[in-house]
A and B are shown apart, each in its own frame.
Chain A
Amino acid sequence: MALLHVFNLTIELPASTGPDASPARSLVKGIGFDIDAGEILALVGESGSGKSLTALALLRLLPDALAITAGSVRLGDNELFSFSESEMNRVRGFRAAMIFQEPQSALNPVKTLEQQVGEVLTLHKKLRGQARRQAVLGLLEEVGIPDARQRLDWYPHQLSGGQKQRVMIAMALACEPDLLIADEPTTALDVTIQKQILELLNQLRRARGLAVLLITHDMGVVAEMADRVAVMRHGDILEYRPCQEFFAAPQHDYSQQLIHSLPKRQFRPHITEPQPLLEVDNLKVWFPQRQGILQRVAGYTKAVDGVSFSIHKGETLALVGESGSGKSTVGRAILALEAATEGRVSFDGQAISELDQKAFLPYRKRIQVIFQDPFSSMNPRMTIREILAEGMRSLGLAETSGQRKSRQEEKLSQLLVRVGLAAEHLDRYPHEFSGGQRQRIAIARAIAVEPELIICDEPTSALDVSIRGQVMELLLELQREMGLSYLFITHDLSIIPHLAHRVAVMKNGVLVEQGLCDQVMNQPQDPYTQALLAAAPVIQALG
């Protein structure tokens, strides 16, 4: 008998009346699955597929606006939907616990670790004082917090992201639950940390016989961790099978699509062009740390500390690094959005790092940028037309009078069509588009001024896998058509072979390794690169 048995679970958004009346909509449509003790079930799906709702519904934590209209959830011998709210509170944390994606916001910033973890122990196990301290210490050691005794009195902000996630797991384990629900536990973490957390989860479920419901969108994580896989889309489970069978021969079209949306390991031929388009020489960006009432400079944060590389015409250089490595600052310094402390940036033979705002203007047309988050990269108060035309106008490419205006109109429509949208989208606002569509608009905005170099600051990391593939294809097509060069800033190693000609690996503000893509990926020289590559989850079945 399975530990958790979910049957015909249905979640609906009830019909609303009033000015924005809408009929009832089912968000999760009668799904079912089982998890045994010691087993990991991966619930896979893209954003909006209902996987997080399912997790919340299991513990009856759905927001008030939603209702569970049918189904049953059995945990052990108990039917959870027949429990009263106070009985449910005995289940939450005690028999089934949950960890979230963002450890930052799930921990209370004004409580020490002992208080955070101990709260659950006091509540459910009535532990106090020294006994509680010992129990917390044991838990922190179990989840691998170094120097746990000393860190008992630390506050969350003193920990790194991975350590916070470990504390979250310690809190979840405090009352020895049978079931752990992990909602995208590693999405916010760097690859090396992700690997450690996944290993910890694996180890815990073996040691404790824990049943784990792992919610994720990363097929690599699934392949590494799960015993069974359930693929969700639009509130339905499309496929529900043991992991190995699933990866060997996915049945459903959508599952195949998900697996194949993973970029192939296929290297691009390198470019042989003598003259570099962009040259960065010993670039340093230091941020002064100010102190005291007179704002005296007390020291520097060395975000970028002597970085040199070059990009040729039509070439893609992937700049890889974990968060905080300074890779985005490099991009911003090239765009003169951040002042360089030292070093030289030359574009097409011209030194551009010393130019003032006005003299830099001609280069704004030639160097463009695409940002990570398609939701913050467009002004919510402007229509797509205004967004696209803004750069053209300020760079003197816009045409305003009569006949020319219709020509510009035509150009804007062509741009949208080129990135895979329709001309009638011009008068809509950004919030009417999905993340992938918004990223397409951001690309259209960048190519509207016909640049030669585009700095792509993690343009695909906020997107779902299937959409990520499409956006990357679009970037590659544009490169072929327009002869664009890319500086592709990313933390995702899996997409690099497909995309980049050369790779530069960055850590703590310096480049540790740089070279042709297949060299770096296949024979990494630097230990950090080796660690990065080893940490990235790979689907073995596909090799």
Chain B
Amino acid sequence: MADFKLTILWSDWLIYLLVVTLAIFFINLARDAVTRKRWRKVFVSPLGSASFLVIVFYVAIALLDSVHFRLPLQQLEGSDTVHYSQEVNSLLDLTLQDLRGNDEKTYSEPFAIYSFAKENRTLDSGQVVRDFPRLEHAGSHLPTGKPASADIFERTMHALVVGALLTLALWLLIWVLRWGLGLSSGQGLQASAWLPWKSILLTLGALVLVSTWVMQLGGYYHILGTNKVGQDVLFQAIKAVRTGVLIGTLATLLTLPLAVGLGIAAGYFKGWVDDLVQYVYTTLSSIPGILLIAASVLLIDVYIETHPEQFQLTAERADFQFLALCFILGMTSWTGLCRLLRAETLKVSQLDYVQAARAFGVSNGRIIGKHILPNVTHIVLIALVLDFSGFVLAEAILSYIGVGVDPSMASWGNMINEARAELSREPVVWWSVAAAFSMMFVLVLAANLFADKVRDAFDPRTVG
């Protein structure tokens, strides 16, 4: 068990890179007094801090799910070479081992201990009856005849107590940290008093409680039921977090260089540069987005089919398709931000300080870097945070129409896609789509609330 092989997928590299870049970005931010003040305004509001924490929680799940490795297979007699499993696991799989291993045969309702479909069973007397069989894993610890509800209640209480203790410990830790940090700056608790501690602690508490509850009960029951092939729906929904978060950030970041570069160039140099950029984005935005994306995804599929030697693992193939999707989404949706930036640059470059810089003979590159870019950053930031939720939703839509991520990759879009059939059967299987919906809803809501706060803090019209 000590022996394993790290398998780092391309998207894993990207997510690490992203985290490092963000860290550098925040350190740089802390230097500039004006920007620091604006971010402070975002976090002063309870809603801003709380939604940020929820986003961080999601990102943490995505990070855990981005450390991939392959376990060794049992060695064959007389062979020295170690073969590794074709299955790629992540740290998250390890953490949620309890949820992952307990596959049932087919659908089961949330917290059910009986299957959702009737089966033929042969009784001891030899008689064949058609009945709902007991589930293989969920509730298997219960003695026959004992109802599940009492057990669930007991375990929930237990989980709540454990969760509450953990929460208290966390609060204490934060308080000590605050105290320590405050002492070093000589201000005590006052140093960090501007943060809305009440809502931060409450959000943290809620997150800890929910996590412990899921961990405690997940091993005994299927909290959100199972899907058609008996996999735990909750586990699938959690696995899809990585897909959602990554598609949101990667696609957004891919749009940036194009939108910023072309937009500012068009607005600053005007003339033929402007004409060219305008023609490109008018053409691009007049092609229906879905059509363009579907066509590009099909191209990628053909590439994968014709180059099987490059993709030895299923995970690798899925990963490539996923990255391609991010790329395509990014390439097709930079036009909006580009248009905004072009207009803003046109405005800013007419301002007196840019004229003054030109009167001093400052080079174009320096004017763009020093005078224009910093003064359009607010637009970039606002667009960045707003686009994020847009891309998460776009993934769901694309997977639903079948041009999204690989079916083997857990994603909310794939879950919703399957729900098409589930919702039309009788009795209805509702939990799969409900799980995907609520996980996505929380993330998109948090991202939108955060985006609102960022906009309030950075939009010059509201800053005044």
Contact = CB atoms under 8 A, between A and B. Distances in A.
Interface of A: 18-19, 295, 332, 335, 337, 357, 360-361, 364-365, 367-369, 371-373, 376-382, 390-391, 394-395, 429, 442, 445, 449
Contact of A378 (B34, B194, B353): B353
A18 B374 CA distance: 29
B355 A371 contact: yes
A81 B359 CA distance: 54
Contacts of A295: 275
Nearest to B363: A394
B44 interface: yes
Contacts of A367: 359
B355 A19 contact: no
A209 B355 CA distance: 50
Interface in B332-358: 351-353, 355-358
Given A357-B361, A372-B352, 17 more contacts: A19-B40, A19-B194, A295-B275, A337-B358, A365-B361, A369-B355, A373-B352, A377-B351, A379-B370, A390-B357, A390-B362, A390-B370, A391-B357, A394-B357, A394-B362, A394-B366, A449-B360
A371 B352 contact: yes
A377 B356 contact: yes
Contacts of B352: 371-373, 376-377
Nearest to B361: A364
Contacts of A381: 32, 34, 374-375
Nearest to A378: B353
Given A19-B194, A381-B34, A381-B375, A376 B353 contact: yes
Interface in B357-394: 357-363, 366, 370-371, 374-375
A395 B355 contact: no
B228 to A, nearest CB: 53
A379 B357 CA distance: 10
Tell me if A's interface is mostly helix, strand, loop or mixed.
loop
Contacts of B44: 18-19
A350 to B, nearest CB: 16
Nearest to B357: A390
Interface of B: 32-34, 40, 44, 194, 275, 351-353, 355-363, 366, 370-371, 374-375
A337 B355 contact: yes
Which 8 residue pairs are nearest across A and B when measured between Cβ atoms? A391-B360, A377-B352, A364-B361, A371-B352, A381-B374, A394-B362, A19-B194, A379-B353
A516 to B, nearest CB: 29
Contacts of A373: 352
Contact of A380 (B355, B358, B362, B375): B375
B374 A379 contact: yes
B356 A369 contact: yes
A332 B359 CA distance: 9
A390 B374 contact: no
Given A19-B44, A394-B366, A429-B34, A379 B359 contact: no
B21 to A, nearest CB: 21
B353 A395 contact: no
A388 B194 CA distance: 35
A42 to B, nearest CB: 30
A369 B194 CA distance: 44
Given A381-B375, A429-B33, A368 B353 contact: no
A161 B353 CA distance: 27
Contacts of A376: 351-353
Contacts of B371: 379
B359 A390 contact: no
A380 B351 CA distance: 12
